[in-house]
Structure 1
């Protein structure tokens, strides 16, 4: 019996090739989207889960209060780990201090590579449950040791055994390789950990002024922790709340530092904080794309239901005859479900092919390294199960609807049956078409809004000139001690317009300090200031834009006690005449010599941060090089590299273009925009398939009417208008419904940005007009084809 059901289903599919193609293509596209989104969501939800101690790991963060606003940060004082181990050791298995991630030069013989890694205390290897290829996890106990990732080891040593080999880091220190661990998975916050060097080595080489005088003030480091097996994360977090508060000086205690544990399970999905509390993160996109996936698959199911019910009149007699000769309704239901499941089976096969075809592109857009899970039983069970459910949902309405026809009324063609098959049956089809295009239009509006927000932020004035600006890290002592000589050589080449140095690049803020005083300051006012050390000519190099005062100059020896501030800092301090004002930093007076327009150094979507620039050569970490615009980039880079090789032949010339680094700040929004547009295109494609099928059916259904109208003199335009009018009205209704829904969700999304665009009327107009044009193009082919048909043929047909 079952085989007979599928045999009939196969014959119906072959007989109605156009409808079969539309159903299979639509469902295959919907299933492919669902699979891709499912793989993406699984990758997001499994972020960091490769670590055995996943549920016990955390990063130690702190909240501080400034002017009644709570700010959250990862950085803590360098004594944090020791204090927690001493006072709360029984609640933790490991507490380790770490430097921030940095790019260092690793050299072995003639091979020199730049890799990103960190200086961390030994317990990190057990915390991350590193899988060792060579050596053991105890490889960081000696101060002159280093552990390498598998990829880094191969880059330096090939297939040779690296253990006990000596490499040089930043051309300064010789370190012995004591272990090689497997590369950490890409869907991890530690994916770029290409090497691990001892924390003790790092801390011994750091000589910041407060290391001994006020070690609890500077927030410069990261602390990772693994709680003990018998403890609870929330309870331990509450215990350590006042660790820093009990150690800082009274003036720093006013900021109410509060320490807490942020579990590894929340790093990726719940990474955003507002006023000291978790406010969201990537979990918002998990929900967003999950909903999109469901809706796109729903669109495909709607197509199937629409086309099946639309063709119900043609199959009504079949149902009547089957019932007349004894078929039970349950058998008819089974028959229609068999057809639905057969369509879904073909669609599932094609969906797998589609996923395999677009997965490389999808990975590139989503910044993932997902692979098709051929060997995962759970994937196949869930995918096949989900496909069966989809088939049952898609086939439910036609199966239950068609099987309900009464054989006598259908075979007699009674008025009741005609009404049921005509007017009443058309209502749900129209509703489903409206739902389809409402979803599609919402996605179109969302896509336009996302890209409009990106362009709005890109067009934001950044306060300096990023073009032709290079940043080169000072990784080795050979270039750190020869700034003036290197600058002189570079300027002689003619390819460099200007050069300077600074404590950090212009694309991020490295140091934030408090302890600033100024005349007229309200005692209740508290605030952090970004601090950046620069050399002479920094302003000329990056193209500062002054609103008042002047730049640092070699002509004024007093500039060593001068400071340049940005507009936000001047406004925050309430300085009506800032130039000449005295600002005290840790009690030392500095005179404001200039005010510059805000430089956008952090997120282009956030408000500018108050910043102070000091003339200080000792803090330099980065060279800033302005290429002469009249020189070609290739030639300029070659000559710049020759100069650096002259002073530092042992290190590779590693540089970054500032505009490229700034562009990375838009990465997440660009990815979301591309993914949304990708799904919007697929949603529109599925909707258009359904419209094409409906237009084809209506054209077939009204063949005789069209013939009669042509004989009576109807024009091509009037026939086209008659066949297209209904679809246009449905799409207009979809636009009306979609507009407020899209406005609500996109306005909520935009509100999380300080610097944001507005929802303009033209976005809705363009989306609506676009949907109408797409509808007309889809429907017009069949409408015009039907209108051009010879009326003799249409009227003589049975």
Structure 2
């Protein structure tokens, strides 16, 4: 019996090639997109869940309880981590790392020196950190070596990159041309999704060798580069530990303890909590999951619509088979077999598309995690099987019930009504549902693109274009070396200005604190942000002075330039009134005079509001050189800069980055979401078009004689096209009435998460409706015009 089902199913599918192809294409595209979304979500949702004692591991985060609100951060300090291990019996382990970005690492093998710049994969770590998390050791576990100064554990890829072999235990690296590191262990590459993945782990005591001035015992030396992780004892309430840490605040921070609120963030939440540098919002996970479900649903709707429409053509077949003894149950399984055959064909197409599109997904997601081996993952295979069964059920159940329930007498006489074949009203409702989803996705895509464009082109209050930053050696250059480099750079016509700085005006830099203005006794009730730069900082970034002058080139004199936000916070509206006033910066401890006021600028992304800020010289903290270039012949100019760099710092790696690229990184998550939603919106439109084409093709075939009669009576192509088109136009308009408020609600909530955003105007929603209308008319029009251009004699002869 089953063999007979398959045989008849394949024969019917072959006889109705057009509908078979349309169904396989529609279902295949829907299943491919749903599968890609599953791979994407599986990657993010499984991040770090493979870590030992995952449910008992937390990261310590810090909420600053300021008078004007709460400021969230991941800041920690060396002595605070040590106290956690000593003061609380409920804490089994405390892992601590300090990130060391832009590290210069060199090797000397056979008197051949190789130098490398490691952007963000070098950390100082303690023993507990190496033991808390899952590291696959090549050879002996060397976690204990993290207690010794001058030791390092490296990944196998770094070993091969630096030495060409994995047999490197005992060999030496040099950090920052200052500290020798003995390689004590090798760890395997971590291929599982993880946010705890670095390449060089340096023993924590080595930090003092690299930075002798670093205060290892100062609780106040909090930094976002310092991260503390804890593992709690079993059956321990994290809230109880948080309260005990709060009670001991005076021990750590003295009189200012009331401002510090440390919390324990579950390892499961780290990846999704943007307040603390999360990688992706959980709302994005839900959005993409919903998109995947809807794409699968609209593909199934196509199948249902075309299958029920086709039912009229197969009425006689059903009648004959019932007369010959076929039961409704047998016919039901016959048509479910046809659905299964189409679905399996679509699944094969989907898997081919997934294999082709995985590299594209890697590009959009900025990861190399998605590769063909995922096709053999047990969870992936279970998802594919579940998706196939779900599609067979969703797409096949209703049409099979309708078709198998035909009255044999009516079917034999070819007197089946549209209602008996599933109902025109139901098919129209399903088409409207498809169009609503497509229009919501299109309107959402327009909003995403416009918001992203706004981010990328908004006035930041300074000029980010044609400025590069060059990373300085970790060991701060002498004054003479700074002057020499700056003077050499300024000799070239392509260089218009040079500045020594900590970071660019817009950055992730978190330096800041309290401020005392105009010799007041009390500190102000708000905090400010610090930007460190020399006299070249203002001209290099073309920041606009509203009053006063630039700071001088004398490092021995403290002069401050404040922004508009700080001036307004102080209740002053005239920039001239700020000049000559004294200011004390609580973070640096420096006190000086305000010599200028600049137009407000964005210190971080446009997702957050502007903040009060001061700009001043702080030579000890400079870690970059900013250079404004002529945008012509950039490649040649950068080659020149590299030569100048090597002249002044022959033992250091020349590493640079454009400021506009740094700013663009603020919006990587929005860029990722935009790319994904835009692609899926296109897929939704294509699936809808396939369904619409199938529907109109059936309608044309049913009314081909009518078209011939109308042509004989003088009807033109335009009137025949309008005859069919007006029905679909009504469906699009009705779908727009439903889709517009849904899209407005969803996108308004998304936009409200940004401090600076576009206005959701009526034309944005209208553009989505108009686009779908034009695509619908083009799809319908193509098939109708093709039929209308047929010779009416041939149309009238059609049986």
Normalised-by-shorter TM-score class: over 0.9
TM-score (normalizing by structure 2): 0.94
The superposition leaves residues 361-397 of structure 1 with CA deviations (integer Å, 9 ceiling, x where unpaired) of 1211122321232332332233123202211210111
* Counterpart position of 1:711: 712
CA displacement at 1:342 relative to structure 2: 0.8
2:463 to 462, 465, 470: 465
| Mapping of residues 260-279 of structure 1, within 5 Å | 260-272=263-275
Query: Aligned Cα RMSD in Å?
Result: 2.3
Q: Distance in 1 between matches of 2:209 and 2:241?
A: 31
Q: Call closer, same or farther: CA 1:728–1:786 in 2, change over 3 Å.
A: same
- 2:169 is aligned with 1:163: yes
User: Are the aligned partners of 1:564 and 1:593 in contact in 2 as well (CA < 8 Å)?
Assistant: yes
Alpha-carbon separation, structure 2, partners of 1:450 and 1:259:
35
SS at match of 2:552: coil
Corresponding residue for residue 62 of structure 1? 62
What is the CA distance between 1:620 and its match in structure 2? 1.4
Taking the aligned partners of 2:200 and 2:417, their CA distance within structure 1 comes to: 76
What do the CA deviations read for 1:532-561 (whole angstroms, capped 9, x no partner)?
A: 22222221222221112111124xx69823
Q: Is the 8 A contact 1:107 1:171 kept in 2?
A: yes
What does the per-residue CA deviation read over 1:206-251, in whole Å, with 9 as the maximum and x for residues that have no partner? 4669777x6436456322222234534344334323343443232x
Q: Does structure 2 retain, via aligned residues, the 8 Å contact 1:166–1:174?
A: yes
> For 1:564-583, what aligned pairs fall within 5 Å after superposition?
564-576=561-573, 577-583=577-583
SS of aligned partner of 1:462: coil
SS in 1 for 2:532: strand
Q: Which residue of 2 aligns with 1:74?
A: 74
Partner of 1:680: 681
Question: Deviation at 1:263?
Answer: 1.4
Contact conserved, 2:471 with 2:654, CA < 8 A, in 1?
Answer: no
Contact 2:496-2:629 at 8 Å conserved across structures: yes
Distance 1:385 1:25 in 2: 19
Note if 1:792 corresponds to 2:796.
Answer: no
Q: Say whether the 8 Å CA contact 1:578–1:595 is kept in structure 2.
A: yes
Q: Tell me how far 1:143 sits from its aligned partner.
A: 0.3
- How many angstroms apart in 2 are the aligned matches of 1:571 and 1:44? 42
* Structure 2 unaligned regions, length at least 5: none
Matched, 1:96 2:111: no
Comparing 582-591 and 193-202, the one that deviates more: 582-591
Aligned pair in 2 of structure 1 residues 46, 363: CA closer, same or farther (>3 Å)? same
What residue in structure 1 maps to residue 16 of structure 2?
16
- The alpha-carbon distance between structure 1 residues 562 and 789, as it changes in their structure 2 partners (threshold 3 A), is same
In structure 1, how many angstroms separate the alpha carbons of the residues matched to 2:376 and 2:510?
48
Residue 241 of structure 1 corresponds to 246
- The answer (yes or no) to whether the contact 1:272–1:280 under 8 Å persists in 2 is no
CA distance change for structure 1 residues 688 and 591 in 2, over 3 Å: closer, same or farther?
same
Q: In the superposition, relative to structure 1, how do residues 146 and 211 fare at CA in structure 2: closer, same or farther (>3 Å)?
A: closer
The change in CA–CA distance for 1:374 and 1:585 in structure 2 (over 3 A counts) is: closer
Q: Show the counterpart of 1:653.
A: 654
For 1:476 and 1:588, locate their aligned partners in 2 and report how far apart those are by CA, in whole Å: 23
Give 2:607's aligned residue. Answer: 605
Q: What is aligned with 1:172? A: 178
- Report the 3-state secondary structure (helix = DSSP H, G, I; strand = E; otherwise coil) of the residue aligned with 1:652: coil
Contact 1:310 1:694 (C-alpha < 8 Å) held by counterparts = yes
Q: 2:495: which partner in 1? A: 496
Q: CA deviation at 1:579?
A: 1.7
Distance 1:509 1:794, change over 3 A: closer
- Residues 85 and 94 of structure 2 are in contact (CA less than 8 Å); yes or no, is this contact kept in structure 1? yes
- Give the whole-Å Cα distance in 1 for the aligned partners of 2:84 and 2:475: 35
Superposed CA deviations along residues 610-658 of structure 1, whole A, max 9, x for unmatched, are 21112222221111122244x5212211221112112222222111111
**Change in CA separation of 1:259 and 1:504 when aligned onto 2, cut-off 3 Å:** same
Instruction: Judge conservation of contact 1:84–1:243 (CA < 8 Å) in 2.
Output: no
- Provide the residue aligned with 1:394 in structure 2: 395
Mapped partners of 1:219, 1:356: distance in 2: 43
1:594-633 paired onto structure 2 within 5 Å: 594-629=596-631, 632-633=633-634
What is residue 329 of structure 1 aligned with on the other side?
328
Write the deviation string for residues 411-441 of structure 1: whole angstroms up to 9, x where unpaired.
3455xx436347x711111001101111001
**Distance in 2 between the 1:38 and 1:668 partners?**
18
What is the Cα deviation at residue 57 of structure 1?
Answer: 2.2
- Determine the C-alpha separation between the residues in 2 that align with 1:613 and 1:118: 29
The residue number in structure 2 matching 1:183 is: 189
Aligned 8 A contact 2:316 2:414 in 1: no
3-state SS, counterpart of residue 265 of structure 2: strand
Counterparts of 1:622 and 1:239 in 2: how far apart (Å)? 41
Q: 2:747 matched to which residue of 1?
A: 746
Q: Does structure 1 residue 216 correspond to structure 2 residue 220?
A: yes
Q: Aligned partners of 1:231, 1:254: CA distance in 2, in Å?
A: 25
**Alignment deviations for residues 264-292 of structure 1 (CA, whole Å, 9 cap, x no partner):** 1110123337xxxx999521111111100
Give distance in 1, aligned partners of 2:509 and 2:757. 25
- Consecutive unaligned residues in structure 1, runs of 5 or more: none
Which region of structure 1 is more displaced relative to structure 2, 684-693 or 124-133? 124-133
Q: Which residue of 2 aligns with 1:49?
A: 49
Name the SS for the 1:583 alignment partner. Answer: strand
| TM-score normalised over the length of structure 1 | 0.94
Deviation of 1:16 (Å)? 0.5
1:666 alignment counterpart: 667
- How many aligned positions are there? 783
Distance change >3 Å, CA 20–CA 209, structure 1 → 2: closer
Structure 1 residues 165, 413: closer, same or farther in 2, change over 3 A? Answer: closer
CA deviations on 1:676-726 (whole Å, 9 max, x unpaired) are 000000111000000011111000000111111111111111111112111
Provide the residue aligned with 2:448 in structure 1: 450
Provide closer, same or farther for how the CA distance between residues 710 and 484 of structure 1 changes in structure 2, counting only shifts above 3 A.
Answer: same
Give the aligned partner of residue 257 of structure 2: 253
Distance in 2 between residues matched to 1:543 and 1:39, nearest whole Å: 45
Q: How far off is 1:77 after superposition?
A: 3.6
Q: Tell me, in whole angstroms, the C-alpha distance in 1 between the residues paired with 2:536 and 2:254.
A: 37
- Structure 1 SS opposite 2:375: coil
Please report how far the alpha carbon of residue 479 of structure 1 lies from its aligned counterpart in structure 2 after TM superposition.
4.1
Whether the 8 Å CA contact 1:141–1:198 is kept in 2: the answer is: yes
**1:124 equivalent in alignment to 2:129:** yes
Alignment of 1:543-558 (within 5 A): 543-554=542-553
Q: Deviations over 1:567-591 (max 9, x none)?
A: 1121122234222222223475422
Matched, 1:146 2:149: no
**Structure 1 counterpart of 2:362:** 363
Report the Cα distance in structure 2 between the residues aligned to 1:258 and 1:545, rounded to whole angstroms.
Answer: 38
Q: Is the counterpart of residue 200 in structure 1 residue 205 in structure 2?
A: yes
- Contact 2:560 2:592 (8 Å CA) reproduced: yes
